[in-house]
Amino acid sequence: MTNIFSEKFDIIVAGAGHAGVEAALACARMGLRTLCLCLNLDSVALCACNPAIGGTSKGHLVREIDALGGEMGLAADETFIQMRMLNLSKGPAVHSLRAQIDKCRYHLRMKRALERENLITITQDECERILVENGRVKGIICAGGASYACRALVVCAGVYLKSRIHIGEYSREQGPSGLARAEGLSASLAELGFSLRRFKTGTPPRVLKRSLDLERMIEQPGDVPIPKFSFMTMENSRPQLPCHMTYTNERTHEAILAGLDRSPMFSGRINAAPTRYCPSIEDKLVRFADKERHQLFIEPEGESTSEMYVQGFSTSLPRDVQLAALRTIEGIERCEVTRWGYAIEYDCIDPTALELTLGSRDIAGLFFAGQLNGSSGYEEAAAQGILAGINAAQYVRGEPPLVLKRSDAYIGVLADDLATKGTNEPYRMMTGRAEYRLILRQDNADLRLTEFGRSVGLVSDERYAKLMHKKEEIARAKMALGAVVPPSEALNALLEAKGESGVVTGVRLYELLRRNSIGYTDLQTLLTSLPSISDEAREQVEIEAHYGGYIERENERIRRFESQESIELPSDLDYSAISGLRLEARQKLAARRPRSLGQASRISGVSPSDIAVLLIRLKAIGADRSSEKSSENSSESGGESK
């Protein structure tokens, strides 16, 4: 088979969307020669839908990608046109950064990142067939006939597999934004035994800025000072472009409902599973019929274009219905549509065929990342991309894989949800999916994950030194906060000014900091011996003080969780022979082959009573092995005595 290959690589990454870029960069930066294939090089890291990076829970993923040594956060910091921290009225667990980006500059920035890596070869071509020999990936054949050998393959096909777009009664076999679709890979995946399903997502229309009356809308400015995604970005300081908010109304709803029978989602022309948490505007009106209006955001697509994105108006309605509905909305009455909204349906795999590494259970060296795994969103794709890329590189190097637990990262939650639970609709990350979200905050992603990135060789010396400095600052501050200060007029005046009760005896500075209205800088005004630390270190010290009790309770929950995760299930365990397991549990466990008792407990169809049966069986196996070991030792001992 090897004779057919025109060129050999350590790793091939098929696709250069948000998943493919992170996967290829990770593989190359870990020292492996990597081929990155893309259907069209003008679509590298294309933001085919909203021109934004981050958002609720998605901002956590971007910070985690950055902490591991990925590129998305750096690129967003360099190409943003507006930054806003969301959910600031709530606790730090749900604070999430969102950047409005210049989508053209973002694409060019990411394409440049690929071009600058000496170990990456970028080629415009289509992966059509995956070659497997003796249960291992051997290479690929492209649509034009080129063939390449590899030791590992990361498939990041996005929404391009046999994709079809719909605008009312009109449909066409093509990818997003008018690009070509991938024709042959679906058949190759099915031939290899992967179960394919059909999912659907969509995008809103774009309108021309000059045709809008922005003054009649509510302006949404960016934050000042400007926050940042990457722990490596020093300062973000440049002019920001505003977004604007408006609302649908009764006339809008009438126009949409009048054309509902022409929507492919409701006429039966689309049977693919839609995105529950990012519904089309027509779906919103049906599901939330009691709502009198729906929020819309008018967002600039970049500094070099006048196109504006109508966030919240995703649709597959016919062009005339889209235009009629848009022109009922305040500030959009005279809009000129530059691109019509559309729905896109595409093939994806059942992700329960994957390990927590995002590698195939059955084919060694084959990894998957992004919307091909049934997820939605740029950030979810990029997070899977860096994880799959790392593990493809570890596989080629013969080193242990990186498995992130649910208690380690949102990326761990994402991988576990897909591989263990699966999904029947496009999966979207949400803070509610993370059981330990107070620990998995966006502000401490570097403290949680940079050591992981360092262990696989993806984190630079500069990034690691910055982490070590931050840890030292936090440690110095905590030590200094152990000091006891006597009551004084200055101290009580500060407490009174902050709405806190005064003190009559000596008190530790850390106890003062635990009061919600007291910050580290407040205490510095009283005690000049408190060390000066960076804003990032100060944030950690204050959060740990204010939420210390809650954090400790969550850490205790994590310890209980990890006790189950540490109980490994033998890979050759015969579930059909375990009496007491229900039939459904036997079938699901045999198909999924969970790594641990904890993972088994999260498989749909496996009940707590099934877990109890498994635990009894594992104890019996352990007792049997101990008995066998004792017998062997006795035999050896007897032989020596003779």
Helices 548-565 and 535-546 pack at an angle, to 10 degrees, of: 90
Interval 207-230: pLDDT, tens = 999 999 999 999 999 999 999 999
Question: At residue 624, does pLDDT exceed 80?
Answer: no
Provide the 3-class DSSP secondary structure of residue 451.
helix
Copy the structure tokens of residue 276.
Answer: 């529950």
| Domains located in the chain, CATH noted | 2-204+348-455 (3.50.50.60), 206-229+236-344 (2.40.30.260), 482-558 (1.10.10.1800), 567-641 (1.10.150.570)
Lowest mean pLDDT among 278-287, 415-424, 433-442: 278-287
Interval 303-344: pLDDT, tens = 999 999 999 999 999 999 999 999 999 999 999 999 999 999
Contacts of 514-519 with C-beta under 8 Å, sequence gap 24+, read: 514/545, 514/546, 514/548, 516/546, 518/494
Sign of the Cα pseudo-torsion (381, 383, 388, 393, in order): positive
Interval 456-476: pLDDT, tens = 999 999 999 999 999 999 999
Copy the structure tokens of residue 530.
Answer: 């408190």
What is the Cα–Cα distance from 309 to 313, expressed in whole angstroms? 9
Question: At residue 120, does pLDDT exceed 90?
Answer: yes
Which pLDDT band, with edges at 50, 70 and 90, does 2 fall under? Answer: very low
3-state helix, strand, coil in the chain (%, to 5): 45, 20, 40
- pTM across the whole model: 0.94
Provide the 3-class DSSP secondary structure of residue 518.
coil
- pLDDT given at position 625: 60
* Averaged pLDDT, 4-13: 90
Copy the structure tokens of residue 318.
Answer: 């016919």
